[in-house]
Amino acid sequence: MLDKNVFVRDTLRLVTSEIKRFEVDTRQEPSDDDIISILKRMAKQRKDSIQQYKDGGRPDLEEIEQNELDLLDKYLPQALNGDALKDALQDIISENNFSGMQDMGNVMKELRSRHPNAEMSEASSMVKNLLS
């Protein structure tokens, strides 16, 4: 607020309002995991909006959503993606002797328990490639 950065102020107010909504809905103080899940949900909403604005030819609104997503990413823990994600998936598959597409759910469940900050949409496509 002191920097007079209206965009950052408004985006952080959105975050605090979501946290307060969680408090009211659940009648409990949010834990760190709850706040991370709120931030992840907000980031996912921004990603969906960015794609819709791209498809709709609205670069002005796309840029606003992208800026909000970049700001939210600063507050999220570093997600497991890319080569590190592929290595983790290969370890899970080899350790548990998963072989076919019928094991995809088990691989994703194991990944979620070992690496809760993994990028699940990217992991899903990698698992399909590794198991097929």
Question: Residue 7: CB partners within 8 Å, gap ≥ 6?
Answer: 67, 71
| pLDDT at position 38 over 90 | yes
Which tens digits make up the pLDDT trace of 65-89? 999 999 999 998 887 878 888 898 8
- For 82-131, CATH number out of 1.20.58, 1.20.1260, 1.10.10, 3.30.70 equals 1.10.10
Q: Average pLDDT in the 25-45 region?
A: 92
Its pTM stands at: 0.73
Q: What percentage of residues in the chain have a pLDDT greater than 90? A: 52
3-state secondary structure 79-126: CECHHHHHHHHHHHHHHHCCCCHHHHHHHHHHHHHHCCCECHHHHHHH
Mean pLDDT within 93-110: 88
> For the packed helices 6-26 and 32-56, what is the interaxial angle rounded to 10 degrees?
120
CATH classification number, 6-75, choose in 1.10.1510.10, 3.40.50.720, 3.65.10.10, 3.40.50.12280:
1.10.1510.10
